[in-house]
Amino acid sequence: MKKRIILWIALAMLLSLGAVLSVSAQQADGSEDVINVTINGNPVTFQEGYGLPYVDNAWRTQVPLRAAMEAYGAYVDWDADARTAIVQYQGITVKLPVNQNFLTANGQIRTMDTQAVIRSGRTYLPIRFVVEALGGSVSWDQATLTVGIWNPSYPARQTSPVPLKERGVYDVYNNSLLIGDSRTQGIQAAAGISGADYFCENGLALRKVMSGGSVADGTYTVVEETDEEGNVTQKRIPNVVTLAEKLESKQYSRIFIILGFNDVGWQQPATFERQYDQIIKQIRAAQPNAMVIAQKLIPVTAARSQTDRYFNNPAIAKYNQIIENQARANNILCVDPTWSVADDTGALAAAYSHDGIHLFAVGYKVWAQLVGRIVP
């Protein structure tokens, strides 16, 4: 009885965080109390071979996507290139990219405090966010350990997809600005993106940007020089701009912040956190109509991580958490492109890199394509 009371208290705490809808909760003796899920009073059956609900390491509930959403009456599809689940119901299309802290409902971004994941080949989702995006609601009955999902259109079902507007994989980069370091230069050189501007240079760090440092913007001023014999020669002098000047030069549709890697080894986390907050605010003040997207840092290879005192994956993970927190605090989109170039351990795949940090051309291309597919 004491174990069950403790379990109920833990579940109540999870629900207060808006996370638990369906779980299989393990007790101290190894047995499990199954949490029930109903839709308009009708029980949902989860079969072990097709995935069972569970609570992840972050104390967030993950529910098998297809079983839950098809029981809801929705049409479920999967975009393998973008690793994105698509749920359609009653004129609403929800897109849920795996390992990202957001979903979109008819193109409108909704941030989440958890992520959809793939586990044992099955897609799991934090169901409350999807149900509410579809116009439904959820409740919790502690006495029976039951999650109640309410679908106002039940038992209406959608059995075929609504055609979605086709979009080019690089369309999101049209009239965009990418702010970053040498790896952003790699995207600029190798990804094949057109229609984007760049504010980047080798070794660029957030601390330089926020102190008003300038970078070459890819344009040149031609200067004529005449020697003593009257011969005229032309020199191309690179133009340099600060971020403030770049933001004032035109209005952008999207601005990608791909900074932070060079700060990992040289800047204290608290300073980085403050400056990341500042750059977001600077961009939004100068570009109020632009979508601002914070990108998490791509990790290094496992071999590099084991031998590099500064640029290692535990340190990168710490800074990625700061980026995610600041994106959430400032209500901007945060995307994680890691899986596009990662190995099974989550490190940068050695096949994509020559030095453990920088990518070959194909790596920059698949990185840019993933972001192009998942950003609204």
CATH topology (fold) of 171-374:
Rossmann fold (3.40.50)
Question: Is the pLDDT reported for residue 18 higher than 60?
Answer: no
Q: What is the DSSP letter of 98?
A: B
Backbone φ/ψ region at 84: left (φ over 0), alpha (ψ -120 to 50), beta? beta
Distance CA 369, CA 349 (A): 17
Q: What is the DSSP letter of 146?
A: E
CATH class of 2-150: alpha beta
Any idea what the Cα angle at residue 117 is, between residues 9 and 352, rounded to 5°? Answer: 140
pLDDT at 59: 63
Task: Sort strands 176-180 and 54-55 into parallel, antiparallel or unpaired.
Answer: unpaired
pLDDT at 222: 86
| Mean pLDDT, residues 112-129 | 89
**Helix or strand run (H / E) with residue 102:** strand 102-105
User: What are the sequence ranges of the domains in the chain?
Assistant: 2-150, 171-374
pLDDT at 63: 82
**Helix or strand run (H / E) with residue 317:** helix 313-329
Smallest CA-to-CA distance from 127 within 160, 94, 155, 80 is with: 94
What's the pTM?
A: 0.84
pLDDT at 130: 93
pLDDT at 91: 94
Sheet holding 117-119, edge to edge: 54-55, 61-64, 122-125, 117-119
Q: Quick one: tokens of 323?
A: 């980026």
Assign 3-state DSSP to the chain and report helix, strand, coil percentages, each to 5: 35, 30, 35
pLDDT tens-digit series, residues 22-79: 344 444 344 455 777 899 999 998 887 778 777 667 666 678 899 999 999 999 999 9
